Chains A and B, each alone.
Chain A
Amino acid sequence: MTDAKPKAPSNDKRWKIVDATMRRHGYAGNSLIETLHSTQECFGYLDEQALRYVAAVLRVPLSKVYGVATFYHFFTLKPQGEHTCVVCMGTACYIKGAPEIIDTVEKTYNVKAGETTADGKLSLLTARCIGSCGLAPAVVFDGEITGKLDKGETLKRINKIMATAGVKQS
């Protein structure tokens, strides 16, 4: 065959998982989205180094990799905070007061939706719809979906997760 596969950016074992995903798809260019999913699952976000590596292995232009990574909402190029609070902004949650919840969290923690607090402790994110419309308004605290919330209860829950040790993402 032609030239060897590019080396992983570091010795981090997580690259092995990314490599396995690409190998499973025969290093085909069309496995780009699957590979990015796998990379984000391992590292929490996609940094430039990761995009360059995936582009090199799959032999897809970096511009195309960047294009795909920024086209889809699911992919994020920024690391997230220690804790995450994802407020669902689907129609049902919107009608039932999700905007107020976001407003309150933004003011209380001095953070804008889609961003992370200056100390890197909390990321406030919004979701298009998490499909828990029957429990609107719903918020996902560190991966755990909680429904039928209001402003006060949301703040209480955030305090609770903030008190626990978070998972620091590299």
Chain B
Amino acid sequence: MTPEELYKIANIEKEGQAQYKHTINVCVAAGCMSSRADQVKEALEKSVERNGLDRNCKVRGVGCMGLCAAGPLVHVEQSNTMYQGVQSTDAPEIVQSLEKTPVKRLELPMSVPFFTRQKKIVLENCGVIDPERIEEYIARDGYQALLDCLTTMTPDEVVQQMTQSGLRGRGGAGFPTGLKWGMVAKARSDVKYVICNADEGDPGAFMDRSVLESDPHRVLEGMAIAAYAVGATQGYIYVRAEYPLAVKRLKTAIRQADRMALLGSSIFGTTFNFNVDIRLGAGAFVCGEETALIASIEGKRGQPRPRPPFPAESGLWGKPTLINNVETFANVPPILRNGAEWFAGIGTEKSKGTKVFALAGRVTNTGLIEVPMGISLREIIFDIGGGIPDGKSFKAVQTGGPSGGCIPEQFLDMPVDYESLAKVGSIMGSGGMIIMDETSSMVDVARFFMEFCKSESCGKCVPCRVGTAEMLDLLQKIIDGKGSQADLKLLEELCDMVRSTSLCGLGMTAPNPTLSTLRYFKEEYTSLLIPDEEPAEVMK
């Protein structure tokens, strides 16, 4: 592949697309697929054929359009018309309306805040391109950033760009990406690895899955750029086996990139070689922790080990290893294409760029959104999310999954960035955002996450293995109405102990959901306790 060939592919694809007067995009990501979007697509294709429109109307499957709640979604590109809840039987009507006015009955106005308030960088191609065709990615400036890096920049300059952009790890902890790349780049070794963490374990989050299903090449390009910057030649994508569609599309993408020599040896005629392999996760939340993930790729049980040494010095097979999350890699190509200053201009002082959230729970518009850092929770939940359905009132929003916390109403106007979320006892997390209304019991939510952490604890260190089990017992006791004031106190002490003495992030953050609900919804706990018969303890 030469630069000229890349431009040629892009131009041919653009010309091919311009031939069509109408392009009907059907969402074929997992959300809409489970609402039978494949049948809708088939019906639309048949309808186009029957109306003799094959020559100027194209039906294609695209990635996630975001508003999963209203699926299956169909978008007519030229007239920018979005249709919601489309059934196979609606196909003829949609096709016949192409030359006339849109079908009012199914139309979803594009002027609603759900669409207008978002800012798409990571998701810029999601719902726009066919994820199974590399040509469409290339036509949207795909692999351009890789070409520029390989031919006009030194690895040092790439790392510098990343540092200047201010991008922070999107896996949850928010470690500066440029700093991490720099550490691996400096490590001395003839063999280095790049790993993409796609083990999206947070129950209630599906950002990474959507990106992999909708725009897999973006992640491959990000990984290749990272490999060039740090000096690696082999990459692994560690992806959940529970995401079969994402795995399938990743495999297709790798095959296509291999065939076009965008992966492999002497990429763009340079001396840079890079190969990517997929490793399937097998359902262990702890494997999101980088050292546990490495153990799993090595074919072992996914148990973390103490750090240091950090993977940047000694990672996979003992070699320096760069591990970033899917969304982090997906941010890389646009940053290098548009420049670090452009990216640094979006967001807040310490949190740059955008963040993808999976909006779910008791909110009207459930789905996938991307917003600039610094937006308020209220805007996300009430403007973009459309508020709480069924006339119920808002109670709390949970971010960060089992490692995060519940944020009550008084903080709704707080800006969404790493520091602000940490200040109120939660974390940015990977992007799960679960809304709860008045019907949700916060003690039960705390129990739910504790049960999760207990069952996901790998069992290596005692504080996490025993602590989570004990805390779960206490929470269950309180919910059963058998808990006393002393139990509540013990629970608080255990939270503190497990948090400060566990080996890895799973244990260290396991108490967060409990701690945050104790902080903001303590009356829900105390109302469940057995009433104190006069302060016996004090009398002693």
Contact = CB atoms under 8 A, between A and B. Distances in A.
A64 to B, nearest CB: 8
Interface residues of B, number: 53
A92 to B, nearest CB: 4
Given A31-B299, A32-B299, A92-B361, A129 B205 contact: yes
Contacts of B200: 131
B368 interface: yes
B31 A134 contact: yes
Interface string B362-406: 100011100000000000000000000000000000100100000
B201 A68 contact: no
A132 B283 contact: no
Interface centre among A32, A68, A135 (most CB of B within 10 A): A135
A45 B366 CA distance: 35
Contact of B30 (A33, A37, A132, A146): A132
Given A71-B302, A92-B366, A131 B30 contact: yes
A136 B360 contact: yes
B282 interface: yes
A44 interface: no
B9 to A, nearest CB: 30
Given A33-B282, A34-B279, A133 B30 contact: no
A110 interface: no
B283 A73 contact: yes
Interface in B402-438: 432, 434, 436
B176 to A, nearest CB: 28
B68 A128 contact: no
A30 B299 contact: yes
B500 interface: no
B434 A135 contact: no
Interface of B: 30-31, 33-35, 67-69, 71, 200-206, 209, 241-243, 279-285, 296-302, 358-362, 366-368, 398, 401, 432, 434, 436, 440, 445, 448-449, 452, 458
27 contacts: A30-B297, A33-B279, A34-B279, A71-B302, A72-B283, A73-B282, A73-B283, A74-B241, A91-B434, A94-B448, A95-B361, A95-B362, A95-B436, A127-B242, A129-B201, A129-B204, A129-B205, A131-B200, A131-B205, A131-B209, A132-B206, A133-B205, A133-B358, A134-B67, A135-B71, A145-B33, A147-B35
Interface of A: 28-34, 36-37, 60, 64, 67-68, 71-75, 89-92, 94-96, 127-136, 138, 144-147
Given A72-B284, A92-B203, A95-B440, 15 more contacts: A32-B300, A33-B279, A34-B280, A67-B301, A71-B302, A72-B301, A73-B282, A74-B242, A92-B204, A92-B361, A94-B448, A128-B242, A128-B452, A134-B206, A135-B69
